């Protein structure tokens, strides 16, 4: 029966099967290994990172002799792992390693969700870890029976929209897809289609959704990401069936020190830019720009000029703008200084924020903040004493939303079911960590605020509480499967995220026999970041645990006693929520 195979290796972990010899740990031994069949230069100095990663992956699969994966080694072709396509490479300065992610193909057609992540050392390209989800060769013809235009017509019918309305999708390509019944499909993969599915009577019934009151995202108001949602669709290339869908989601200037009052009346210092006559909320080094949308609907063309003032002291001229600009700098500094990531996409991507936004006839009370079209949009909520308070005041919410951008440009977790719940949980985890990071990097986790969006939930509750998910009606154990499989909220991503949230809380607060925390905040943040960037797109909770332990083995390598203790602490934290 066709299926995915999880393939895992770490240099510091013994193989599960005693009869399996360890894969060669360095290029020199790999060249001399009988497993290497290609004629290659015995000097490895000319090897590329990709060449090294491919040979490590091939050598490991040869030794494993995994049934069903032998075709990947391609005995009749001269290339090394020809069916693995390099997708992205990322440096990891904090561990002095490099990560190479490959996508599996068959007959040059990508297999959806089949990926391999190989980690090698910077200095010598020695193997550190390998984590892959690989598939047997699909038993379906690579020849499509319907055209891409016909496939789009099926999507249009499914969305009850015209084909012209969906014509601005972002990309389309053939893929193989293995469905939940382990049946292969040749599909057209349409990415970023501007059409949401329409609920219909034939959809899977949902027994009791009174418990879905905990389905809360970023606020209690609608947003354009919901109303103008984009989805990825996988359409069977033979009969047009929708088999799977999910939500898509340097000029150098001299920075000028500025200050101004934020929404709480606190004077904040931030970097701005001098235009020659005014000072504006443009941080040229961090590439952060903040605009005032003047309570206009966010579907209206945004302003072209950033918030400005004749003096470096903005006083209380635009308190929402100061909050947004200052908090964006904090999130940037955390990722840049602590995790060594160059902005949201690790390539210096700009952080553009719009404050004083409204949406869909909400009036000035638009209680929401959203990462939409790779920008931040902030609404505000009315106050009992009059006036409005911008959601830009919530550092945890801002960090949560911007972390979606980090996920989008790394593992790009599919926004549905368990992978979607992980997507949300990583945003929550970093939202809480960053919120508690300032004003000074914490030395311990004692006294942390574990809420996301304090007071933004129903009845004055937070949106979520990592320390006590049940407080907001959410599950805190994996055995509570009554939410998983729902059609609501992309498979309950904001509900099921709390299961992993609780595991992260358990890990962050775990202590040893002497009462000391196992993981200082900086180390915990690093471990979760390195886990996030190593996950495959359809990772499950169990996959996440496995990768987290792999990252920990790398981080604590060289000290077997400490390494064993930390791995046990991680396993205990996740076992408590029944993720194994």
- Does the residue 374 lie in any domain? yes
Does any domain span residue 333?
yes
573 and 437 belong to one structural domain: yes
For residue 374 the two structure tokens come to: 């790779």
The neighbour count for residue 551, using CB atoms within 10 Å, is 27
Say yes or no: 26 and 122 in one domain: yes
- Evaluate whether 268 touches 393 at the Cβ level (below 8 Å): no
Query: Is 401 tagged catalytic?
Result: yes
Radius of gyration of the chain (CA): 25
3-state secondary structure 360-394: CCCCCCEEEEEEECCEEEEEEEECCCCCEEEHHHC
The pairing of strands 375-382 and 451-452 is unpaired
Q: How many domains does the chain have?
A: 4
pLDDT at 277: 79
pLDDT in tens, 472-526: 999 999 985 545 557 788 999 999 999 999 999 999 999 999 999 999 999 999 9
Residue with tokens 């990663």: 53
pTM: 0.84
Report, in this order, helix, strand and coil percent for the chain, each rounded to 5: 30, 25, 45
Percent with pLDDT over 70 in the chain: 85
Query: Alpha carbon of 418 to those of 66, 497, 544: distances in Å?
Result: 26, 8, 10
In the predicted structure, residue 1 carries a pLDDT above the cut 70? no
Give 178's strand partners.
Answer: 184
Residue showing tokens 């995202």: 217
Instruction: For residue range 149-181, list pLDDT tens digits in order.
Output: 999 999 999 999 999 889 888 889 999 999 989
Instruction: Give every CB contact of residue 553 below 8 A, 6+ residues apart in sequence.
Output: 10, 11, 12, 13, 129, 563, 567
Q: Kindly report, residue by residue over 56-67, the tens digit of the pLDDT.
A: 998 888 877 666
**Do 319 and 344 belong to one domain?**
yes
Q: What are phi and psi of 371, to 5 degrees?
A: -90, 110
Surface-to-core class of residue 17, CB atoms within 10 Å of its CB (0-12 exposed, 13-18 middle, 19+ buried): exposed
Q: Which of 366, 393, 420 is the last residue of a domain?
A: 393
How far is Cα 310 from Cα 279, in angstroms, rounded to an integer? 6
pLDDT at 370 over 50: yes
Phi and psi torsions of 557, nearest 5°: -65, 145
Same domain, 449 and 381: no
pLDDT band per the 50, 70, 90 thresholds, residue 220: low
Average of pLDDT values for 178-201?
A: 87
Q: How far apart are CA 464 and CA 77, in angstroms?
A: 53
Mean pLDDT calculated for residue range 322-335:
97
In the numeric block, the tokens 């049934």 are attached to 67
Q: Check residue 98 and give its pLDDT.
A: 94
Report the alpha-carbon distance of residue 450 to residue 51 in Å, rounded.
44
- The answer to whether residue 371 sits within a structural domain is yes
CA dist 227 and 221 (Å) reads: 11
DSSP H or E segment with residue 178: strand 171-178
Judge whether 277 and 311 are in contact, CB under 8 Å: no
- In this structure, is residue 401 part of a structural domain? no
**b/e for 67-90, b at 16 or more Cβ within 10 A?**
eebeebbeeeeeebbebbeeeeeb
DSSP-derived 3-state class of residue 244 = strand
d(CA 228, CA 558): 51
Q: Is the pLDDT of residue 208 over 60?
A: no
The answer to whether residues 426 and 415 touch, using CB atoms and an 8 Å cutoff, is: no
The structure tokens listed for 30 are 């790999």
Q: pLDDT-based confidence at 26, cuts 50/70/90? A: low
213-247 exposure pattern, b = at least 16 Cβ within 10 A, e = fewer? ebbbbbbebebbbbeebbbbbbbbbeebebbbbbb
Mapped onto helix, strand or coil, the DSSP state of residue 43 is coil
Task: Kindly state whether residues 227 and 281 are assigned to the same domain.
Answer: no
Residue 280 belongs to a domain: yes
Kindly name the residue from 216, 494, 500, 518 that is annotated as catalytic: 494
Q: Are residues 119 and 264 in the same domain?
A: no
* pLDDT band at residue 252 under the 50/70/90 scheme: very low
One domain, residues 481 and 510: yes
Average per-residue pLDDT for the chain? 87
Residue pair 312/259 in contact (Cβ under 8 Å)? The answer is: yes
Domain end residue (candidates: 94, 111, 135): 135
- The residue from 401, 408, 418, 451 that is catalytic is 401
pLDDT value at position 482?
Answer: 47
The answer to whether residue 33 scores a pLDDT higher than 90 is no
**Dihedral of CA 357/363/365/367: which sign?**
negative
Quick one: 452 and 414 in the same domain?
A: yes
Report the pLDDT value the prediction gives residue 479, as an integer from 0 to 100. 82
- Asked if residue 31 is part of any domain, the answer here is yes
Domain that holds residue 478: 407-580
- What is the spatial distance between Cα 98 and Cα 342, in angstroms, rounded to a whole number? 15
pLDDT of residue 401: 93
pLDDT number for residue 201: 46
Q: What is the pLDDT of residue 42?
A: 40
C-alpha–C-alpha distance, residues 558 and 12, integer Å:
9
The enclosing domain of 450 has a CATH number of 1.10.390.10
Compare 215 and 235 and report the one with higher pLDDT: 235
Whether residues 296 and 189 share a domain: the answer is: no
CA dist., res. 526 & res. 204, Å (int): 40
Question: And the tokens for 198?
Answer: 């329409």
Determine the Cα–Cα distance for residues 317 and 509; give it in Å rounded to an integer: 41
Number of Cβ within a 10 Å radius of residue 373: 12
Task: Give every CB contact of residue 246 below 8 A, 6+ residues apart in sequence.
Answer: 231, 232, 414, 415, 416, 420, 490
Distance CA 313, CA 65 (A): 68
30 assigned to some structural domain: yes
What b/e readout covers 133-144, taking b as 16+ CB neighbours within 10 angstroms? bbbbbbebeeeb
Write the DSSP string, 136-186.
Answer: PPP-S-SS-SS-HHHHHHHHHHHHT--TGGGTT-SEEEEEEEE-TTS-EEE
Write out pLDDT tens, residues 427-476: 999 999 999 999 989 988 999 999 999 999 989 999 999 999 999 999 99
Give per-residue pLDDT as tens, 284-295.
889 999 999 999
Residue 206, domain member (yes or no): no
Residue where a domain stops, chosen among 135, 170, 187: 135
Q: Which residue do the tokens 């368990």 mark? A: 418
Q: Tens of pLDDT along 524-575?
A: 999 999 999 999 999 999 999 999 999 999 999 989 999 999 999 999 999 9
**pLDDT single digits (tens) 372-406:** 999 999 999 999 888 999 999 999 999 999 999 99
Location of structure tokens 């003047």? 294
Q: Is 228 a catalytic residue?
A: no
Q: State residue 315 phi and psi, 5-degree precision.
A: 55, -130
Band of the pLDDT at 341, cuts 50, 70, 90? very high
236 with 336, same domain: the answer is no
**374 or 74: whose pLDDT is higher?**
374
318 and 371 co-located in one domain: yes
Same domain, 358 and 438: no
Written as six digits, the tokens of 271 are: 């970097």
């Amino acid at each position: 029966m066709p299926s995915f195979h999880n393939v895992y290796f770490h240099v510091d972990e013994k193989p599960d099967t005693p009869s399996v010899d360890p894969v060669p740990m360095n290029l020199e031994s790999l060249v001399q290994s009988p497993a290497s069949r290609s004629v290659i230069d015995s000097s490895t100095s000319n090897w590329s990172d990709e060449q090294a990663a491919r040979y490590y992956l091939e050598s490991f699969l040869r030794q494993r002799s995994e049934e069903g994966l032998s075709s990947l080694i391609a005995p009749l072709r001269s290339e090394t792992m020809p069916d693995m396509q390099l997708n992205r490479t990322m440096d990891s300065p904090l561990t002095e390693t490099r990560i190479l992610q490959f996508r599996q193909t068959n007959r040059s057609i990508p297999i959806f969700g089949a990926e391999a992540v190989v980690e090698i050392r910077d200095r010598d390209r020695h193997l550190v870890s390998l984590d892959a989800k690989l598939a047997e060769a699909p038993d379906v013809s690579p020849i499509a029976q319907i055209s891409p235009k016909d496939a789009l017509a099926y999507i249009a019918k499914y969305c009850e929209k015209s084909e012209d309305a969906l014509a601005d999708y972002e990309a389309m390509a053939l893929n193989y897809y293995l469905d939940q019944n382990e049946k292969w499909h040749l599909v057209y993969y349409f990415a970023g289609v501007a059409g949401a599915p329409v609920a219909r009577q034939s959809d899977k019934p949902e027994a009791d959704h009174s418990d879905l009151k905990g389905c809360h995202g970023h606020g209690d108001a609608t947003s354009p990401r919901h109303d103008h949602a984009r989805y990825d669709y996988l359409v069977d290339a033979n009969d047009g069936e929708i088999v799977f869908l999910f939500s898509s989601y340097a000029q150098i200037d001299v920075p000028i020190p500025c200050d101004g009052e934020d929404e709480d009346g606190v004077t904040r210092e931030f970097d701005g830019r001098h235009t020659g006559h005014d000072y504006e909320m443009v941080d040229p080094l961090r590439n952060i720009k903040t605009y005032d949308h003047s309570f206009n609907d966010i579907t209206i063309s945004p302003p072209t000029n950033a918030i400005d003032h004749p003096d470096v002291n903005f006083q209380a001229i635009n308190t929402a703008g100061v909050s947004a600009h200052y908090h964006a700098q904090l999130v940037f500094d955390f990722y840049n200084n602590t995790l060594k990531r160059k902005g949201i996409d690790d390539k210096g991507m700009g952080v553009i924020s719009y404050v004083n936004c409204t949406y869909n006839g909400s009036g000035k009370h638009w209680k929401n903040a959203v990462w939409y079209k790779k920008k931040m949009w902030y609404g505000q909520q009315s106050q009992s004493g009059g006036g409005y308070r911008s959601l830009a005041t919530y550092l945890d919410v801002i960090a949560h939303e911007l972390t979606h951008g980090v996920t989008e440009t790394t593992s790009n977790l599919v926004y549905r079911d368990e992978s979607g719940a992980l997507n949300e949980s990583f945003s929550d985890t970093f939202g809480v960590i960053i919120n508690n990071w300032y004003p000074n990097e914490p030395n311990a986790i004692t006294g942390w605020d574990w809420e996301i969006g304090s007071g933004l939930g129903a009845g004055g509750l937070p949106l979520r509480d990592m320390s006590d998910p049940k407080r907001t009606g959410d599950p805190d154990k994996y055995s509570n499967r009554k939410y998983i499989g729902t059609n609501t909220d992309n498979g309950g991503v904001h509900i099921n995220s709390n299961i992993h949230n609780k595991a992260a809380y358990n890990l962050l607060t775990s202590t040893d026999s002497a009462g000391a925390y196992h993981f200082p905040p900086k180390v915990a943040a690093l471990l979760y970041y390195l886990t996030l960037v190593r996950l495959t797109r359809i990772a499950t909770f169990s996959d996440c645990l496995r990768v987290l332990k792999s990252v920990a083995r790398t981080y604590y390598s060289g000290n077997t006693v400490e390494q064993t203790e930390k791995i046990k602490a991680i396993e205990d934290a996740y076992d408590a929520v029944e993720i194994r």
